[in-house]
Structure 1
Amino acid sequence: MRLSASHAVIAAFVLAAATAAPARAEETVVVAATGGAYEQSLRKSFFDDFTNATGIRVQVVTASAQEQITKLKAMNQVGAVTWDIAVLGDIEAHSNDVRAMTEDMGTFCQAFAERKDLLKGACDSSGAQLNSGLTYIVWDGDKLPNGGPTTWSELWDVKRFPGARTFPNFNDPWRVMAAALVADGVAPSDLFPLDIDRALRKLDALKPHINLWWKTGDASQQGYRAGEYVAGMVWQTRASVLLKEGRNLKFSLKEGVLVSDRATVVKGGPNKANALKLLNFIENSVDGMARHCTNLGCTPPSTAAMEKMSPEDQANMPIKPEIYASLIIPDFEWINANRPLMLDRWNTWLQK
């Protein structure tokens, strides 16, 4: 029988995912997550301790958020789900597409309802929050020794702060559009619904100066090391790695884009019981949460974990009222409903 092109693509996705399937399901849990420093921190902070405590091996499949969603859809279409947990951004985790492919975790979360240390939303029907962090402004302290841009409007000011810029481009353009609107004078609290036309007009002015459109966190780090940009928008978790390397990287918490990562349990996964054991272990591992966010410069979903972190690390969390009030907070519902429109407009703009 000859497969159609679409079926061939689906089969290829499933075959690739199947290579990560465990040989002994009762002793394994398969987690899909982004790789690099993030995966390493998950291993050192949670996964290795979980394996030592339970004997259950955590096998990680590396994929971006959009790759995870595409592969989950492919696996569901052919009825061959080989993943147990997908670690996604909060926005993706709450989308209708992902909710249809993941378990409702409401009952699981009831066990933690009395935990006073857990922040609001740390555990909800979509899954368990692993960390929160900013996508924020960074600059090279060597190339801008007298100070760099601390707001989005200043990042657009290439005369005052000369040098190449960097922004993300990984099929999720809402945060770049939001930053452009704030640079154009829109208050963070008034961003949604996003004025896409106005955002793209503002980006027109900066586009000639954008030297690196990074698609992965590792690419943003390597771009800095290689001197491909002087300032721009980078994930806080990846900037922290550069800081730990001793790089003279500077950053601003002001007007940062607040995003979270959430572990979801995949419907039909071969090791659901082990997946729930792992998430239960993580929710109860305050020390692990503290290590994870010390490694990555993020904010844990527990105040008890925050207290275990150094004063220096706590100072990098956007929890001060004056900083928090300036943050860009995503509107999950609007972003998920308008994602295809934004992506179409974005890709058209990039190709101009």
Structure 2
Amino acid sequence: MNGPFQRDCLEILKIRAARGQISRRDFTTGLALLMGTSALGLRGTAAMAQAKELVFVNWGGDAGTAYDEAYGKPFLAATGITVKQDGSGPTEGAIAAQAESGKPTWDIVDVDPFSAEALGKKGMMEPIDYAVVDKGKMREGFGWDHSASTYFYSYIIAYDAAKFKDNPPKTMADFFDVEKFPGKRSLYKWGTGMWEAALLADGVAPDALYPLDLERAHAKLAAFKDNVVAYWGGGSESQSILLNGEASMALIWSTRAKLIEEDSGGDVSFIWDQGLIAPGAMGVLKNNPGGKDAAMQFIASAQDPEKQLVMFRMLGQGPANPAADALLPPEEARYNPVDPANFAVQIPLDMPWYEENYGPALDQFLKIISA
């Protein structure tokens, strides 16, 4: 579920740079942070000095030179380690293929926590060294055995504020109620968060969601199909569907919320209530060529709250380090998915459930929406 989201983050970065909302320097800094190549202020160690190169595998982009200028070169100066960017996409299958080859060429990957845990149990991922990576710089419950959280985003309700005026939706039940809130809807085509939304709308309490009742969720989604104008696969698509008036509501990535409000002049708005919070994470391949010590130090360097705020300000990604919360003024905190007030009304996706069930659940979901 992470690949399309990361590619959308790159697109958002370009949009904000084109609008002049960020400087060229911040643009290149944000690109580098997105790929996880920051090493500013990092001290080299004897173990790290043995490494000559780290390969960080992400979801692509067209700014390799900018990444190198902003972060690769400073990392090299600080540690003696060259960081190479690989945008080939670290899908679970691709990571497994690297590990099974016996000679992986990847070091660090931007990975879904549930994929990292599944692969880790097969001996393909290094356990996170929490003597180096600081769990105190993570939100409680978001450090796993084989991956460490680096950002957050949510699946939230965006709606036609010009149409619903003083009667906006407040819950997932409202999203699924086309009599009370007329108009077409749009859902995410890769399933994540959609099962939870359907169950919440069907009356399941937030604290009783997991394990997900897929039969009940799929029945709700199948019965709702006639009201869905499109199943979007990328953030720009979800944004266009709302701005063009094709749908009166959509479940979208929270990173698009500010752009949608800006582009519509406030005619399209959003709510955090019953949003579904998803974490992004970094993981390290077993027997990675650059060495696990250097890789763990790299992950630790990404825990700096100031660096995470750069990510938030350009992409809307919620900071993994809770120390960043107090650094945001109210007008910015409004768009932060993990701001304490916003977090309190949402439900985190359950990574153990996704680890065990995502593949088969997605197969069923795709059959329903394509039938």
Q: Is the shorter-chain TM-score for this pair beyond 0.5, marking a shared fold? A: yes
Structure 1: runs of 5+ lacking an equivalent: 1-24
| Contact residue 133 and residue 259 of structure 1 kept, 8 A | yes
The 1-side partners of 2:356 and 2:229 are apart by 30
2:53·2:83 contact (CA, 8 Å) conserved in 1? yes
1:32 aligns with 2:57: yes
Residue 86 in 1 paired to residue 109 in 2? yes
Q: Distance in 2 between matches of 1:208 and 1:121?
A: 38
Query: Deviation digits for residues 269-323 of structure 1, max 9, x if unmatched?
Result: 333355334323212x221011112223232122322222232222334567775
Q: 1:333 matched to which residue of 2?
A: 352
Q: 1:307 to 1:137 in 2, by over 3 A?
A: same
**Corresponding residue for 1:151?**
171
Q: Find 1:59's aligned residue among 66, 80, 85.
A: 85
Of 55, 60, 70, the residue aligned with 1:48 is: 70
**Superposition pairs for residues 1-352 of structure 1, below 5 Å?**
28-35=53-60, 48-49=70-71, 51-55=73-77, 56-63=82-89, 68-96=91-119, 100-105=123-128, 107=129, 109-113=130-134, 115=136, 117-121=137-141, 123-170=143-190, 173-243=191-261, 248=266, 249-272=268-291, 274-283=294-303, 285-317=304-336, 324-352=343-371
Say if 1:128 and 1:264, in contact at 8 Å, map to a contact too. yes
Deviations 1:188-212 (A, max 9, x none): 1001121112112221332112122
Residues 118-175 of structure 1 show CA distances to partners (whole Å, capped at 9, x for unaligned) of 43245443222111221111123345444532311111122332222111122xx252
Q: How far apart are residue 112 of structure 1 and its match?
A: 4.7
Report if aligned partners of 2:138, 2:321 keep a CA contact under 8 Å in 1: yes
- Please report the TM-score for the alignment, with normalisation by the length of structure 1: 0.76
Give 3-state SS (helix, strand or coil) of 2:193's partner.
helix
Distance in 2, matches of 1:282 and 1:271, equals: 18
Give yes or no for contact 2:120–2:146 (8 Å, CA) kept in 1: no
Kindly provide the amino acid, as one letter, of the partner of residue 365 in structure 2: W
* Distance of 2:84 and 2:247 partners within structure 1: 37
Distance in 1 of aligned mates of 2:239 and 2:59? 15
Q: 1:58 to 1:168 in 2, by over 3 A?
A: same
Give the Cα separation in 2 of the matches to 1:50 and 1:148. 46
Q: Which residue of 1 aligns with 2:23?
A: none
**Whole-angstrom distance in 2 between the partners of 1:290 and 1:251:** 22
The one-letter code sitting in structure 2 at the alignment partner of 1:308 is L
Q: Which secondary structure state, in structure 1, belongs to the residue aligned with residue 288 of structure 2?
A: coil
Cα deviation 1:65-116 (Å, max 9, x = unaligned): xx611212233333452322211233333334676321111x3x2135484x
Q: Closer, same or farther in 2 for the Cα pair 1:291/1:275, shift >3 Å?
A: same
SS state at 1:95 partner: helix
TM-score norm. by structure 2 comes to 0.73
Contact 1:89 1:259 in 2 (8 A): no
Judge conservation of contact 2:152–2:278 (CA < 8 Å) in 1: yes
Shift of the 35–233 alpha-carbon distance from structure 1 to 2, 3 Å rule, reads farther
CA RMSD of aligned residues (A): 3.2
Question: Residues 27, 162 of structure 1: CA spacing in aligned structure 2 closer, same or farther, 3 A cutoff?
Answer: farther
Distance (whole Å) between structure 1 residues aligned to residue 141 and residue 363 of structure 2: 31
Q: Distance in 1 between matches of 2:254 and 2:122?
A: 27
Unaligned runs of 5+ in 2: 1-49
Decide which moves more: 51-60 or 182-191.
51-60
Q: Is the CA contact 1:99–1:126 (under 8 Å) kept in the aligned structure 2?
A: no
For 1:326 and 1:113, locate their aligned partners in 2 and report how far apart those are by CA, in whole Å: 27
Aligned length: 314
Identity over aligned pairs, percent: 25
1:47 to partner: Cα distance = 8.8
For residue 94 of structure 1, give the secondary structure of its aligned residue in structure 2: helix
The SS at the match of 1:110 is coil
Whether the 8 Å contact between 1:290 and 1:306 is mirrored in structure 2 is no
